[in-house]
């Protein structure tokens, strides 16, 4: 793939935050002194991570499907933009309207409160208009073929966001759409969530590189996205999961083969969390797996993030969760409500990370 030129609409000197000033501060501290344009270059995309994960080879526009489609410099500059746009919105300034006159189609075959509200509100705050297409509105692949929907929506809108069950659906959308497509979630990965997570880690720890992130639970789409990020940005990632619930082997193998990050897959959560900067959890049974919920509760015994596990992690560890959470199942109520929990700043950052992603793919 040829190099992609990326223009970030807001400037920011560097991702440097003293840990002491952010430990108990959920809001972003940077100041915006003015607006200038930064030219950023991304190199060729990383190798695909499964046979179904193909880098978009179209020219003329960009999609955001996998974090590993971009190099470290581009990912970090998108995060810089997210931080600056967040600071501008927090300041009360509503004059930055790069999406004015633009329309976004939001496809939801898999419903979500956070994804809908964060994308719709974020696009509106920057001047755009969004259209919600729920499961009954569109019936993608049933009432109408995905390739037809992609081309029809491309004629009406400037960007498509899709939250779908099957990863192939997002790949089909990107293949036939002539406008940018953003992956709002698939059964394989969840790149917007992990970009929001990375932004949250930078805000509270001061940096992403070199941190130790320990995920405890099912080796699901969240884990795959962490692995894809670890193939681009260097940090220590550990997935602690029960036997038989490990992440996709090929994704793990290829993430390790890049040599960028230290990556470990283990079945011992207590050993995994020692020295963690972040302990991360997710529901044990996602949407579409609820019939397995009782079985999974038995298998996942010992993988609950409770106060005792956070004590093993150490006093510097934060707790993160992509939500929704089943309190008392994968995490205790006490952990979510503890001072070290940054779950809700993390949830808010979905809006800001996604705004930056959309600015990037629209070339604004």
Active site residues: 322
User: DSSP class of residue 262?
Assistant: E
Q: Rounded to whole angstroms, how far apart are CA atoms 175 and 181?
A: 10
Element (H, E) at 199: helix 191-205
Per the listing, tokens 């003293």 go with: 18
User: What are the strands, taking DSSP E only, across the chain?
Assistant: 4-8, 38-42, 103-108, 129-133, 159-163, 181-185, 212-216, 236-240, 262-266, 278-281, 318-321
8 A C-beta contact, residue 46 and residue 69:
yes
Number of CB atoms found within 10 A of residue 159's CB: 27
8 A C-beta contact, residue 213 and residue 226:
yes
User: DSSP class of residue 44?
Assistant: S
- Tokens (6 digits) for 319: 């707790």
Calculated CA dihedral for residues 242, 215, 114, 284, nearest 10 degrees: 10
8 A C-beta contact, residue 119 and residue 106:
yes
Radius of gyration of the chain (CA): 19
Provide the sign of the torsion angle of the four alpha carbons 212, 217, 218, 222, taken in this order: negative
Count helices and strands in the chain by DSSP H and E runs: 14, 11
- Tokens (6 digits) for 291: 């019939």
Q: Rounded to whole angstroms, how far apart are CA atoms 352 and 196?
A: 7
- Tokens (6 digits) for 15: 């991702």
- CA angle 196/200/202 to nearest 5° reads 120
């Amino acid at each position: 793939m040829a190099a992609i030129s990326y223009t970030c609409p807001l400037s920011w000197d560097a991702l440097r935050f003293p840990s002491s000033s952010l430990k108990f501060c959920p809001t972003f501290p940077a100041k915006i002194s003015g607006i200038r344009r930064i030219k950023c270059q991304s190199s060729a995309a990383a190798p695909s991570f499964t046979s179904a994960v193909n880098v978009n080879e179209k020219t003329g526009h960009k999609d955001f499907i996998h974090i590993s489609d971009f190099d470290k410099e581009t990912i970090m500059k998108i995060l810089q933009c997210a931080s600056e746009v967040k600071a501008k919105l927090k300041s009360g300034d509503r004059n930055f309207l790069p999406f004015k006159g633009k329309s976004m189609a939001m496809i939801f075959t898999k419903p979500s409160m956070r994804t809908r509200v964060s994308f719709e509100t974020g696009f509106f705050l920057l001047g755009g208009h969004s259209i919600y297409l729920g499961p009954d509105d569109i019936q993608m692949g049933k009432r109408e073929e995905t390739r037809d929907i992609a081309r029809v929506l491309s004629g009406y809108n400037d960007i498509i966001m899709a939250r779908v069950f099957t990863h192939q659906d997002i790949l089909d959308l990107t293949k036939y759409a002539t406008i940018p497509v953003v992956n709002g979630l698939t059964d394989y990965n969840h790149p917007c969530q992990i970009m929001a997570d990375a932004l949250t880690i930078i805000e509270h720890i001061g940096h992403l590189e070199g941190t130790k992130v320990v995920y405890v639970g099912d080796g699901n789409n969240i884990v795959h996205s962490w692995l894809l990020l670890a193939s681009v940005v260097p940090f220590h990632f550990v997935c602690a999961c029960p036997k038989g619930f490990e992440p996709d082997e090929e994704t793990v193998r290829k993430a390790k083969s890049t040599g960028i990050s230290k990556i470990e897959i283990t079945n011992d959560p207590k050993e995994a969390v020692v020295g963690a900067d972040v302990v991360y959890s997710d529901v044990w049974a996602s949407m579409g797996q609820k019939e397995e919920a009782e079985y999974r509760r038995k298998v996942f015994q010992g993988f609950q993030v409770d106060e005792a596990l956070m004590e093993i992690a150490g006093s510097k560890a934060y707790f993160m969760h992509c939500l929704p959470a089943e309190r008392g199942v994968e995490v205790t109520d006490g952990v979510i409500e503890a001072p070290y929990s940054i779950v809700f700043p993390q949830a808010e950052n979905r809006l800001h990370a996604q705004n930056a992603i959309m600015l990037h793919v629209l070339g604004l």
